[in-house]
Structure 1
Amino acid sequence: MKQTFKKRLKKGVFYLILLFIILFVFRIIYGYTEYPNNNIQESDLFFQEITSTRVNYASKKYKINTVSNNAPAVIDVDQKYEKIATVNTKSSEFEREKEILDKEIKRQGAIIQFEQNSGNKGYRRLQLLIGVQPEKFESLYDSLSKIGKVQSKEITKKDKTNEYKQLNAKKESLLKIRTSLIELKSKGGKIEEYINLENRILSIEEELQGLGVQLGNYDEENEFCTIKFSLIEGTENKIGLMHRIKVALGWTVSTYLQLIVILFFIAGFVYLALLILDKLNLFNSIIKNLKD
């Protein structure tokens, strides 16, 4: 009996120690993979403001094999999409990194669409909105990710094919309406009706001009992908091993104790529930014996 109890005790202690080690290792790994988010929110606000006034689109043409009328067919697809990368970096060698950045942008044939320089020496910040040809997007993104110490980075891609088709459909509809109104104007009529037709035609012309600007962003000669890049001057975030161990140990102890308390209450609740069920079964058994 004592040997069985000792085995169970050793087994329970082993699992408790294993749980502690798993939590500790998890926190250490998390500390190495998580990027600090200092100054990132300010960069995001800047890019949100300028991207509302400037968009870049690209296209990709490919074929899809399908079946039409029980016969194989090939469909040509012209996809329109928006691809945006965001790279936030930090460096204590601001001037040197900026020179590398300028050379890389020129080498890839990219263009700077927006630029903002701010801050005094030691606290400078450079933020760029870069337009790059789709085929050079990945190459430039990889190069910029090697500048300074990366604080955060991501790539997003959105399909814009339906929006492009809707703009074209709206343009065709407005052209037909304008043609009809011009024909009505040639038939003559009252002066008021003529003025109303002129105003309506003018309104449609303005809408067509707006659509022309929007559709112009999709033209092949204007095809670009976007890279939002920010370079912040400052000491790179370098966290020592002992500090990581200290933080991980503190978090592990706190989380471990919370889990133990939760498990204790769950075990107590289950024990009480089983005890109540056992009492009920005993009570039912006594009533049954009395009836018999």
Structure 2
Amino acid sequence: MKQTFKKKFKKGVFYLVLLFIILFVFRILYGYSEYSNSNIQESDLFFQEITSSRVNYASKKYKINTGSNNSPAVVDVDQKYEKIATVNTKSSEFEREKKVLNKEIKKQDAIIQFEQNSGNKGYRKLQLLIGVQPERFDSLYNRLSKIGKVQSKEITKKDKTNEYKQLNAKKESLLKIRTSLIELKDKGGKIEEYINLENRILSIEEELQGLGVQLGNYDEENEFCTIKFSLIEGTENKISLMHRIKVALDWTVSTYLQLMLILFFIAGFVYLILLIIDKLNLFNGIIKNLDN
């Protein structure tokens, strides 16, 4: 009996300690992620506002085998894709890093498509949207990642081949409709019908112009990959490990005690409900015995 109680007691203590350790580790990891994310929120907002108005696409040509070993069939594939890199850095030597940045952009024959400078000295921010040729993308990305103290960086690549094909298919369809309408116009008819045809043709012309602009982004001469670069002036606030441990320990103790208190009240409430149900069952049993 005593041995069983000791085992249950040890197991209960083990689970309580394990819960405390899990909470403590969670708070330590959360502290690192929260600090890292706070430095890049404004840059992300800026880039979200401008990327909708400017896109860069690139292409990659390769061959794939769609046949079997006995009858090989090679198909040429022209893939259209969008490749975007994001680099957020911070430096106390803002002017020097800015010169290095412009030098690297010029060296790689890249172009600055959007630029925003903001803030007073000591708190300045430089945000750039850079278009770079696909074959020089990796080189420029690696060089820019060495500027200042990198806060975050990532690369994403999205396939745009189907969208490109859909735009071309829509263009072909509109061209056929326009040709048919022009042929109808040559046959003559009422003035009202002629005006309606002219308006319809004009509407199709406007759609074709819009498609032409979108398809122009896919032209080989306009092929670029995108690098979103943000340089923030200021020294990086380094938080010591001991301070992180102290904050995490304070939060863990407070949260742990609150959690234990909640569990205690829940257990007490459940016990009270079960006790009431048991009393009611006993009361119903007595009544049945009296009736019999």
TM-score by length of 1: 0.80
Q: Name the stretch that deviates more: 265-274 or 93-102.
A: 265-274
Q: How does 1:205-220 map to 2 (within 5 A)?
A: 205-220=205-220
- Alpha-carbon distance change, 158 to 35 in structure 1, aligned in 2, over 3 angstroms: farther
Q: How does 1:137-156 map to 2 (within 5 A)?
A: 137-156=137-156
Structure 1 residue 150 displacement after superposition: 3.0
> Which residue does the alignment assign to 1:122?
122
Structure 1 residue 77 displacement after superposition: 3.4
Q: Deviations over 1:111-142 (max 9, x none)?
A: 21111222221121111001122333334333
> Which residue does the alignment assign to 2:60?
60
The answer as to 2:87 corresponding to 1:87 is: yes
The answer on whether the counterparts of 1:35 and 1:151 sit within 8 Å (CA) in structure 2 is: no
Question: 2:143 & 2:283 partners in 1: Cα distance?
Answer: 77
The alignment partner of 2:245 has SS state of helix
Question: 1:166 & 1:17 partners in 2: Cα distance?
Answer: 59
The answer on whether the counterparts of 2:39 and 2:151 sit within 8 Å (CA) in structure 1 is: no
Residue 155 of structure 2 aligns to which amino acid in structure 1?
Answer: I
Residue 130 of structure 1 aligns to which amino acid in structure 2?
Answer: I
The alignment partner of 2:36 has SS state of coil
- Alpha-carbon distance change, 193 to 2 in structure 1, aligned in 2, over 3 angstroms: closer
Q: Name the stretch that deviates more: 152-161 or 204-213.
A: 152-161
Q: How does 1:95-106 map to 2 (within 5 A)?
A: 95-106=95-106
Q: Name the stretch that deviates more: 173-182 or 254-263.
A: 254-263
> Which residue does the alignment assign to 2:182?
182
Structure 1 unaligned spans of 5+:
none
Question: Percent identity at matched positions?
Answer: 90
Paired residues, number: 291
Residue 23 of structure 2 aligns to which amino acid in structure 1?
Answer: L
Q: Name the stretch that deviates more: 86-95 or 24-33.
A: 24-33
Question: 2:114 & 2:212 partners in 1: Cα distance?
Answer: 23
The answer on whether the counterparts of 1:64 and 1:77 sit within 8 Å (CA) in structure 2 is: yes
Q: How does 1:243-282 map to 2 (within 5 A)?
A: 243-265=243-265, 267-268=267-268
Question: 1:141 & 1:279 partners in 2: Cα distance?
Answer: 74
Q: Deviations over 1:70-106 (max 9, x none)?
A: 9664444333222222222222111122122222223
Q: Deviations over 1:11-38 (max 9, x none)?
A: 4334323332332233223433444344
Residue 161 of structure 2 aligns to which amino acid in structure 1?
Answer: T
Structure 2 unaligned spans of 5+:
none
- Alpha-carbon distance change, 277 to 74 in structure 1, aligned in 2, over 3 angstroms: farther
TM-score by length of 2: 0.80
Q: What is the alpha-carbon root mean square deviation over aligned residues?
A: 3.5
The answer on whether the counterparts of 1:57 and 1:83 sit within 8 Å (CA) in structure 2 is: yes
The answer on whether the counterparts of 1:133 and 1:225 sit within 8 Å (CA) in structure 2 is: yes
The answer on whether the counterparts of 1:35 and 1:152 sit within 8 Å (CA) in structure 2 is: no
Residue 57 of structure 1 aligns to which amino acid in structure 2?
Answer: Y
Residue 169 of structure 1 aligns to which amino acid in structure 2?
Answer: A
The alignment partner of 2:53 has SS state of coil
- Alpha-carbon distance change, 201 to 10 in structure 1, aligned in 2, over 3 angstroms: closer
Structure 1 residue 168 displacement after superposition: 0.8
Question: 2:81 & 2:40 partners in 1: Cα distance?
Answer: 26
